[in-house]
Structure 1
Amino acid sequence: MIEEFLGNVDTIGALLGALAVLALLDSTSFGTLLIPVWLLMASGRLRAGRVLVYLAVVAGAYAVVGLILLTSLLLFGEQLIDGLVALQQSPVVLLGQAALGAGLIAYSFRLDPLSDAGRERKRRREEARGTSGRVQRFRERVVGEGTQGGLAPLMGLGLAAVGLEIATLLPYLAGIVLVAAADPGVPVAPAMILFYCAVMILPALVLLIARVFAHRALERPLRRLQGFLSRHVSGTVALILFLVGLWLGLNALGGLENAGWNVPLV
């Protein structure tokens, strides 16, 4: 009995270690690090509680998705995986995926035009719409010293970040599969998902604590980082959208060709 208990403890410990490594990989994503860092660069006195709300929404949303996936895997296992694979390979889904990929590529060029003329048109368009600097104004409004309004915009930002990222967080999906394969039972399995989500936002929490208690020491690095992001964020987001769109499009075209559709890949 004691040997079996110690064996279970060793297994759970090893699984927690693997989950921690995967979660730290996920902690560098757009929603779990880039957006929190951007929020921390708000001028003046930071409303730290509001940043905590954002992180709680992100972690909570990931936890809900993870628990749903874990429960589905435990109940249906291979049937669920086979069903998802079959659905993903259906022509209707593949055509929709190809259209989404093309849309992301087109939007990436609109977000960060390649030509000088395109960038000038974008600048004039933003000035005409009054959208220039809108992102920075939103940040000051939700977490800065002059905070206005309720928490709905901040919570919406967190949910939007999760919605955009969830399909690309392969470490999280791998962690869920590991927990499902080990099947440690209730309440250990759900607790492992919660542990993963807590570790995933841990680096952002550390930065938040540093921002609150060592603002003067971090002020210059944060300003430099803000300047860098201000210059390159559009290009970075555009590149990510382009690569995701390209991957979705090529994957869809390959699936359609395997299904018998005469679709050229080049």
Structure 2
Amino acid sequence: MDIMTGHPELSLVILALIDSTSIGTLVIPLWLLLRGRREAIVKVLVYLGVIAVFYWVVGVLLRSGLLLVDPGIFEHRFSRVAGLAVGALMIIWALSYRTDAQKEASARKKAKAPAGGPAQGLEPASESAPLPRRLRGRVGAALDTRTGLIALALFAGLLELPTMLPYLAAVGVMQGTGWSAGLQLAALAGYCLVMIVPALLLVAARALAGARIELWMQKLGDKAGAYAQETLGWVVGIGGFLLIRASLSGQDLHSLFG
């Protein structure tokens, strides 16, 4: 794509902003802010710092891995068959995930608006948040200790590893620029900073407005969570499609996102 090759800096900013809307980088910080109010702000900043560093380390490993992988890997028959199989499984998973997410969203709407009338008050964040089940229990307890926050950030990052398509694309963009290793590592750090900017803006808003924006943040959390779940399905599905395309055409792995 022209924007990827002709304007790599702009491409990286766009990809970072896409990554900023994930469950780990936006939805969880939002719900943590709702759980703890003003006293949670410093702890949420710790969470964002940990997940940004986690992404940077993953980016360094991805960069190193891409340098070691044979670019012509899909020229081999076994690799093509394996790529086709993995790509098909990714698409099947994405379709089933989106179906489950839609059913879960419908169930949440019914729970919030029972037959007797609209739900009263605000639900606890970890209970009403559209989060993966493995994360819901951890969100509620994460604010109790700094260790809990760090564990939550690392756990969220690990869960998102299989769906880091924008980040993988960003690493591919940097690989194709011809930038020095030091400049690429700095660009990765800048990417991770841009990725948490929307969450940092929410932290600032919470610090300035306090409880006055609580209802707005709760609604934003619902919409952001639903969007993140919807995007997750699309990201995995697109990743599966790209993998199948590369396997069928014998495409150079390093130019997969080019």
Cα 1:82–1:148 shift into 2, 3 Å: same
Report if aligned partners of 1:24, 1:200 keep a CA contact under 8 Å in 2. Answer: yes
Classify the secondary structure of the residue corresponding to 1:193.
helix
Cα 1:49–1:22 shift into 2, 3 Å: same
In structure 1, the residue matched to 2:179 is: 182
1:167-201 deviation digits (Å, cap 9, x = unpaired): 3436523542355x132x54x43223212212221
**Partner Cα separation in structure 2 for residue 166 and residue 88 of structure 1:** 25
1:66-122 deviation digits (Å, cap 9, x = unpaired): 22333456x56xx743337769952023213323432342343334339x9xx69x9
Aligned length: 222
Larger Cα Rg: Structure 1 or Structure 2? Answer: 1
Residue ranges of structure 1 left out of the alignment (5+ in a row): 1-13, 124-130, 260-266
1:53-73 deviation digits (Å, cap 9, x = unpaired): 321232112211222333456
**Which among 73, 82, 96 is matched to residue 83 of structure 1?**
73
Cα 1:99–1:51 shift into 2, 3 Å: same
Q: Deviation of residue 34 (structure 1)? A: 3.0
**Which among 197, 200, 217 is matched to residue 202 of structure 1?**
197
Determine whether 1:166 maps to 2:161: no
Classify the secondary structure of the residue corresponding to 1:214.
helix
Task: List aligned pairs for 1:102-181, cutoff 5 A.
Answer: 102-113=92-103, 138-143=138-143, 147=144, 150-151=147-148, 153-169=151-167, 172-177=170-175, 181=178
Q: Deviation of residue 166 (structure 1)? A: 1.6
Cα 1:191–1:248 shift into 2, 3 Å: closer
Per the normalisation by structure 2, the TM-score is 0.62
Cα 1:36–1:161 shift into 2, 3 Å: farther
In structure 1, the residue matched to 2:123 is: none
Report if aligned partners of 2:174, 2:184 keep a CA contact under 8 Å in 1. Answer: no
Letter in 2 for 1:70: R
Report if aligned partners of 1:33, 1:203 keep a CA contact under 8 Å in 2. Answer: yes
In structure 2, the residue matched to 1:41 is: 34
Classify the secondary structure of the residue corresponding to 1:90.
helix
Measured on the aligned residues, the alpha-carbon RMSD in Å equals: 4.2
**Which among 209, 217, 221 is matched to residue 216 of structure 2?**
221
Letter in 2 for 1:110: D
**Partner Cα separation in structure 2 for residue 222 and residue 251 of structure 1:** 36
Per the normalisation by structure 1, the TM-score is 0.61
Residue ranges of structure 2 left out of the alignment (5+ in a row): 1-6, 112-125, 251-258
Determine whether 1:51 maps to 2:44: yes
Cα 1:225–1:245 shift into 2, 3 Å: closer
Cα 1:174–1:33 shift into 2, 3 Å: farther
**Partner Cα separation in structure 1 for residue 188 and residue 228 of structure 2:** 30
